[in-house]
């Protein structure tokens, strides 16, 4: 009879990713924007959906940092959500959204 093997423990990046993703749901806005920054610095595209969702956060600083993070990740899938987010946004966040879209387009052009 074969032994059942348990799934391997998360690698360092998996654990860090999980930590940042859970921080995005924190009550404290400063922890949420720090999570967005961490996801960008980690560079793992598995955080893309959570960052796109963070564009709708109640705190403008979190939305701004999420836009910045999406620009750092540079995935073209973020362009449409960034454009949508710009429609009803304050100037400080719009500026970052524009920068993020420029960065994504720059990375795509290569």
Contact 71, 103 (CB under 8 A): yes
Q: Which residues, in sequence order, are CB contacts of 15 under 8 Å at separation 6+?
A: none
Q: What is the mean pLDDT of residues 61-77?
A: 98
Q: CA geometry: angle at 32 spanning 22 and 8, to 5°?
A: 25
Residue-range domains of the chain with CATH? 12-109 (1.25.10.10)
**Mean pLDDT across the stretch 91-105?**
97
Mean pLDDT score of the chain, rounded to an integer? Answer: 91
pTM, two decimals, is 0.88
Contact 66, 99 (CB under 8 A): no
For residue range 4-27, what is the model confidence (pLDDT) as tens digits? 444 444 467 899 999 999 999 999
């Amino acid at each position: 009879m074969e032994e059942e093997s348990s799934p391997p423990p998360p690698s360092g990046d998996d654990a860090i990713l999980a930590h940042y993703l859970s921080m995005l749901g924190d009550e404290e806005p400063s922890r949420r924007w720090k999570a967005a920054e961490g996801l960008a610095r980690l560079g793992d595209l598995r955080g893309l959906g959570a960052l796109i969702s963070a564009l709708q956060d109640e705190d403008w600083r979190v939305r701004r940092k999420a836009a910045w993070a999406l620009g750092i990740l540079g995935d073209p899938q973020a362009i449409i959500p960034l454009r949508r987010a710009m429609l009803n946004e304050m100037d400080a966040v719009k500026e970052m959204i524009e920068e993020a879209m420029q960065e994504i387009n720059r990375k795509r052009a290569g």
